Amino acid sequence: MNFQALKLARIAALAACALGVTATHAQEELNVVSIQASTGALAYGGIFFQNAIRLAVDETNAKGGIHGARIRLIERDNGSDKGQAIHLANQAADRDRALLVLGPTSTADALAVAPVFAEKQVPDLHFGTSDATLKASSWSMKFQQSPAVVSALVARYTLEKTPIRKVAFVYDRTNEAWIDSKNNFRDPFKAGGGAVVAEEAVVTTDANFQPLATKLKTLDVDAVYLATYPEQSANIILQLRQAGIPEKVRFIGAVAMVSPKFLAVAGKAAEGAIAVSDHVIGLDRPLNKAFEAAYRARYGAEPDSWAAVGYSLALVGMATLKEAGPRPTREKVRDAFMRLRDVPILGGSGLWNQTDRKPDFGAVVLLVKDGRFVVAP
């Protein structure tokens, strides 16, 4: 072999070696993008989601990753803005080369990004509650149970455990999840003998509820059901009480009501409110205790139910990647999710399951007592 041929052979060998290293390195990292609303109107949940996801991923990597591959978590903040969520979805698919996306934080944002992930064929495990996201994209995967599960549960509790029989509804007409929550409480409530006195629509940006309060004050109701964001729900309650809504009138809320933000804004006016949650801090389970201790150690603060939801979603995401096997592709990840069963989580029954991408793992009804949410008797 002459000198030139030998030189070319060495270059080829080095190139092959470099390609081998690159391919191996690529398999050592699995790109996971987390798109959350860490700022803006949805930050009440998005911040805790992001913190808990980060914790779960770091714990997984500390245990050796998944099939020997390290998870590379890429965190993005869409600022509670649909347009920014769409931009970040495109970025996750193309620039970040995401194998799996966790988020966005809400149903509205999940619906906005669904066409992007459908077109680019990226599996997306989000926090939205409405089943509308599943219809929007076959690549959309839900962690949260639908309102048909949790809202119906609180409707049964209201009929069986309280004297409430006449309810007025206030809901955000711009959010599919809140519409679903309202409908899935209303229908079983009516079927069980309850009466719907009124249905009043608001929008996310509304802040003056005096006209609404004046109207509801004239109605004979036992309770007002609120399907709105937590801070807005608190403001509605305050303005209704200020307008003279009697103390005997109770308030019932959707999942989002179970938030420190709601309690902080509503104050004493929140006392006696009924809500439903699929995750509750303080359950006497090994996984729950370990999570709560790890969260306190990492962030120097107590976790809330939103942190528990975020951590549980991350556990389902990690289980999906494991189920997909070594060297997973986006398609393998999506198919793995469809097979996933009995994933240990913090909430509900303690085991996450799904049928045709529709999760069902149980929930609990809560009451506000002495300024905090407790399990309802």
Q: Tens-digit pLDDT profile for the chain (377 aa)?
A: 454 544 444 544 444 444 433 333 445 899 999 999 999 989 989 999 999 999 999 999 999 999 999 999 999 999 999 999 999 999 999 999 999 999 999 999 999 999 999 999 999 999 998 899 999 999 999 999 998 889 999 999 999 999 999 999 999 999 888 999 999 999 999 999 999 999 999 998 999 999 999 999 999 999 999 999 899 999 999 999 999 999 999 999 988 898 888 999 999 999 999 999 888 888 889 999 999 999 999 999 999 889 999 999 999 999 999 999 999 999 999 999 999 999 999 998 999 999 999 999 999 899 999 999 988 98
Instruction: Kindly compute the dihedral angle of the four CA atoms of residues 211, 212, 218, 220, in this order, to the nearest 10 degrees.
Output: 180
Strands 364-369 and 358-359: unpaired
In DSSP terms, 198 is beta-bridged to 168
Write down the pLDDT at residue 8.
Answer: 45
Q: Which long-range contacts (CB under 8 A, 24 or more apart) does 328-334 make?
A: 328/30, 328/99, 329/99, 330/99, 330/100, 330/121, 330/122, 330/123, 331/121, 333/99, 333/100, 333/123, 334/123, 334/138, 334/139, 334/141
In DSSP terms, 226 is beta-bridged to 170, 253
Question: Under a CB-based contact definition with an 8 Å cutoff, are residues 30 and 321 in contact?
Answer: yes
Which residue from 214, 306, 226 is spatially nearest to 266, judged by alpha carbons?
226
- DSSP characters for 15-55? HHHHHHHHHHHHHHEEEEEEEE--SSTTHHHHHHHHHHHHH
At a CB cut-off of 8 Å and minimum separation 6, what does 2 contact? Answer: none
Write down the pLDDT at residue 255.
Answer: 84
Q: Residue 208 has which token pair?
A: 């003056």
Q: Residue 291 has which token pair?
A: 């999570």
Question: Under a CB-based contact definition with an 8 Å cutoff, are residues 347 and 335 in contact?
Answer: no
Report phi then psi at 240, rounded to 5.
Answer: -65, -45
Per DSSP, 69 falls in state B
Write down the pLDDT at residue 15.
Answer: 45
Write down the pLDDT at residue 281.
Answer: 82
Q: Give the other-Cβ count within 10 Å of 357's Cβ.
A: 16
Secondary structure class of 108 (helix, strand, coil): helix
From CA 262, how far away is CA 205, in angstroms rounded?
A: 16
- CA-based Rg of the chain, rounded to a whole angstrom? 24
From CA 256, how far away is CA 276, in angstroms rounded?
A: 9
- The label of the residue with tokens 């004493």 reads 268
Question: Under a CB-based contact definition with an 8 Å cutoff, are residues 167 and 252 in contact?
Answer: yes
Question: Under a CB-based contact definition with an 8 Å cutoff, are residues 313 and 143 in contact?
Answer: yes
Write down the pLDDT at residue 282.
Answer: 82
For the chain, where are the E strands, in sequence order?
29-36, 70-77, 100-102, 124-126, 140-142, 166-172, 195-202, 223-227, 250-253, 274-277, 343-344, 351-352, 354-355, 358-359, 364-369, 372-375
